[in-house]
Structure 1
Amino acid sequence: MNDVESPIDLRNLKDALEWQETANVKRPWRKDFFDYYVDLIRPRSSDQCQILELGSGPGFLTQHLLSQLPNIEYTAFDFSAVMHQLAQEKLHASEKTRATYVVGSFKDAHWQNTLSQKYDFIIIHQALHELRHKRYAIEFHKTIRSLLKPNGCYLVCDHLCAPHAMQNDQLYMNKQEHLQALQQAAFKQIKIPLEIQGLCLFEMNVI
């Protein structure tokens, strides 16, 4: 099975700007997920809290969390330097001191070696499908386990393959496929705290 080619190149400024301008317009309910992350993280962020976002894009989530949670340290990982540039433009000076930007692709072998620590929370929001085929999901989730601290939390939000959502069943997974991939990566007690308009959040704690 071949990978599913992307119709856009988010390393290109024009494509990145178009994605930035339309993402929240197309799906205004993205903010409901962002607010859920804030409420989840806040009780555990009284001391320094390390957060990793994979596929961080133009920094909407980065800015939202840094502005709401003053004690977090944020690592944004994305394959597009252009996206990182757009993301940094959204932050105040004090927020920039708590943000680290890493250029890398989670499709590359040993991509996790570019990260030098473990994290309390790892979030991948609307980017899991950038693996470009669902068959890679299990190994990806296994890699995430190695990056989480004890009692760390993994948050996966992506489009479902469903009649009311996405139709490409090679790129996107249905709800059961998501659950099976996470279970095969040894995640347990999987929650689905939020699902809106085909966008579904899976929440796992390392026990």
Structure 2
Amino acid sequence: MAFVGAQHEFHNTRFVRDWADRFVPSPERIQLFDTIIDSIANHAQASTHVVELGIGPAYLAERVLEKLPNVTYEGIDFSEPMLEIAAERLASYASRVTFTQADLVAEEWGAKVTHPVGAIVSTWALHDLGGEVNTTKVYRDCRNLLMPGGVLLNGDFVKPDDTSHDYEPGRFLVSRHLDMLQEVGFEDAQCLIYLEKEIDNPTAAQNYVCLQAVG
């Protein structure tokens, strides 16, 4: 049985910079970004504060800041090299951006966020938390941090239905994600889009969705 997953060294500066260069967004990934941006625009005030979990090299952040000129932005990541790359990419938006180093699992990261939060976003990050228990913890933290009516948007890798492959524990069914979101108190949890779906011969970079949940 084939195994679908990936290992990363996100505290290693050389690995991180090489990874960021290889992970330049494709047209499908830009479509994911724009799905997230449209949802923020539809659910949050124009001047809302957006928090990104796992900002990485800031490809999503750059597009959000460009398309939504009135939002402020806070990028959270446990990797100092990633935060350095993000700061470089977002230098022209410095007055609107805050960077926070935090571990989403090992600490209460929400206590470090100083603004009322209208939207929490994430792409290709939460599957690296290791499984349902840690993902549920983060979903609960998000629910507690968001203002009433705020929106969570998680663009992440999933395990497709009817697969014959073995997936790493952090990638699980869309239906399970939706159940978990409802269990921690979100309303209107739904999958907005499913991109690069491949069941027979998947790579670790395929099968990702945009999940939306309203606080």
**TM-score normalized by the length of structure 2:** 0.84
Q: For the residues of structure 2 that align with 1:44 and 1:196, how far apart are their CA atoms? A: 22
- The letter of the residue matching 1:15 is F
1:101-152 Cα offsets, whole Å, 9 max, x none, are 0011101132222222331000121111121222222222111111101110
CA gap of 1:147–1:159, structure 2 versus 1, over 3 A, is same
- SS where residue 60 of structure 2 aligns? helix
- 2:120 is the counterpart of 1:111: no
Residue 105 of structure 2 contacts residue 137 of structure 2 at CA under 8 Å; is this kept in 1?
no
- SS where residue 14 of structure 1 aligns? helix
Residue 127 of structure 1 contacts residue 158 of structure 1 at CA under 8 Å; is this kept in 2?
yes
| 5+ long unaligned stretches in structure 2 | 197-206
Give the share of equivalent positions with the same residue, in percent: 23
1:13-71 Cα offsets, whole Å, 9 max, x none, are 1111122112236x541100111222223356664211000001011011111111110
- 2:72 is the counterpart of 1:68: no
| Match of residue 211 from structure 2 | 202
Q: For the residues of structure 2 that align with 1:115 and 1:69, how far apart are their CA atoms? A: 20
Q: For the residues of structure 1 that align with 2:164 and 2:67, how far apart are their CA atoms? A: 30
Q: For the residues of structure 2 that align with 1:46 and 1:151, how far apart are their CA atoms? A: 10
- SS where residue 97 of structure 1 aligns? helix
**Higher RCO (Cα < 8 Å, 6 or more apart):** 2
- The letter of the residue matching 1:181 is M
Q: For the residues of structure 2 that align with 1:202 and 1:15, how far apart are their CA atoms? A: 29
| Match of residue 9 from structure 2 | 9
Residue 55 of structure 1 contacts residue 78 of structure 1 at CA under 8 Å; is this kept in 2?
yes
- What number of residue pairs does the alignment pair up? 200
| Match of residue 28 from structure 2 | 29
CA gap of 1:104–1:110, structure 2 versus 1, over 3 A, is same
1:151 to 144, 149, 152: 149
- The letter of the residue matching 1:205 is V
Residue 45 of structure 1 contacts residue 72 of structure 1 at CA under 8 Å; is this kept in 2?
no
- SS where residue 88 of structure 1 aligns? helix
| Match of residue 96 from structure 1 | 94
- SS where residue 49 of structure 2 aligns? strand
| Match of residue 126 from structure 1 | 124
**TM-score normalized by the length of structure 1:** 0.87
Q: For the residues of structure 1 that align with 2:115 and 2:45, how far apart are their CA atoms? A: 20
| Match of residue 137 from structure 1 | 135
- The letter of the residue matching 1:151 is G
CA gap of 1:47–1:28, structure 2 versus 1, over 3 A, is closer
